[in-house]
Chains A and B, each alone.
Chain A
Amino acid sequence: AQKITQTQPGMFVQEKEAVTLDCTYDTSDPSYGLFWYKQPSSGEMIFLIYQGSYDQQNATEGRYSLNFQKARKSANLVISASQLGDSAMYFCAMREGIGGGFKTIFGAGTRLFVKA
Chain B
Amino acid sequence: EAGVAQSPRYKIIEKRQSVAFWCNPISGHATLYWYQQILGQGPKLLIQFQNNGVVDDSQLPKDRFSAERLKGVDSTLKIQPAKLEDSAVYLCASSYPVEGGDEQFFGPGTRLTVL
Contacts and interface: CB of A to CB of B under 8 A. Distances in A.
A55 B80 CA distance: 44
A19 interface: no
A106 B91 CA distance: 13
Contacts of A44: 106, 108-109
A43 B105 CA distance: 13
Given A45-B43, A106-B43, A98 B55 contact: yes
A45 B48 contact: no
A65 to B, nearest CB: 15
Contacts of B89: 43
Contacts of A109: 41-42
Main secondary structure of the interface of B (DSSP, over half): strand
Chain B contact residues (Cβ within 8 angstroms of A): what range?
20 to 34
Interface string A49-81: 011100000000000000000000000000000
Interface string B21-35: 000000000000101
Contacts of A106: 35, 42-44
A47 B43 contact: no
Contacts of A107: 42
Interface string B11-51: 00000000000000000000001010000011111001010
B104 interface: yes
Given A43-B89, A43-B108, A99 B100 contact: no
A103 B42 contact: no
A12 interface: no
Interface string A82-116: 00000000010101001111111111110000000
A104 B42 contact: no
8 contacts: A33-B100, A46-B106, A93-B42, A101-B56, A102-B97, A106-B35, A106-B42, A106-B44
Interface of B: 33, 35, 41-45, 48, 50, 55-56, 89, 91, 93, 97, 100-106, 108-109, 111
